[in-house]
Amino acid sequence: MENKKLLKVYVVGSAKYYADFIRDCELVDKLEDAKLVVFTGGEDVTPSLYGCEKHRTTYNNPKRDEAEVKVFKQIRPDQVVLGICRGSQFLCSMNGGILVQNCNNHAIGRTHAITNGELEYQITSTHHQMQYPFNLKKDDYEMLYWAQHLSEKYEGDKVIANKILETGEPEIVLYHKKDMPKCLAVQGHPEMIPNSPVASMINRLIEELCA
């Protein structure tokens, strides 16, 4: 019996444990060798990257953003990108979206429900910012899973709260702009609950995109 081919994964930065939940993978040291590139959590994304004024609650790291932008620009269209938490927000901005720079009821230290309208999963919630892809062309992204309105506020330059109220809060978004790599942006932390149903579901999404 042939051995199953392992998915080659490159994690941007030193937090390699973000890939711990990914099934049948091996980490590689070179970006060009990877099929899947992972951007991890951390500080807020610098608002100037997505053309917005900085909110009073935004805490960003311009040096990290500069380094990660350079990495993103080297990713080939035939590679797939996964962003987790801050990484999801970074991918939103790299695809032309903006961010809600402050919301509440999400940095709760426990799970909450996300849905695609048919299925529901529990995922972790540790953030005060979120993706806002609604300024993009509808053909450039797909909101795969969303949360019902947990937050009581959606603050940030150019953010229109009603857009979120119409659709739900973006939790897992697939960006697929022409001539760019497909970007799976996951707001929660599947690496924190690797044996959970939601981690299995995200693995299926990764496998489909990388097939």
Q: Output the pTM of the full model.
A: 0.96
Q: How many Cβ atoms sit within 10 Å of the Cβ of residue 19?
A: 20
**Residues of the chain under the 70 pLDDT cut:** 1-3
d(CA 141, CA 174): 6
- The three state secondary structure string of the chain is CCCCCCEEEEECCCCHHHHCCCCCEEECCCHHHCCEEEECCCCECCHHHHCCCCCCCCCECHHHHHHHHHHHHHCCCCCEEEEECHHHHHHHHHCCCEEECECCCCCCCEEEEEECCCCEEEEEECCCCEEECCCCCHHHEEEEEEECCCCCCCECCCCCHHHHHHHCEEEEEEECCCCCCEEEEECCCHHHCCCCHHHHHHHHHHHHHHC
- Per-residue pLDDT, 65: 98
- Per-residue pLDDT, 1: 39
Domains of the chain from N-terminus onward: 7-210 (3.40.50.880)
CA distances from 11 to 44, 45, 51, 112, 204 (A): 18, 18, 26, 26, 19
d(CA 202, CA 172): 9
- Per-residue pLDDT, 176: 97
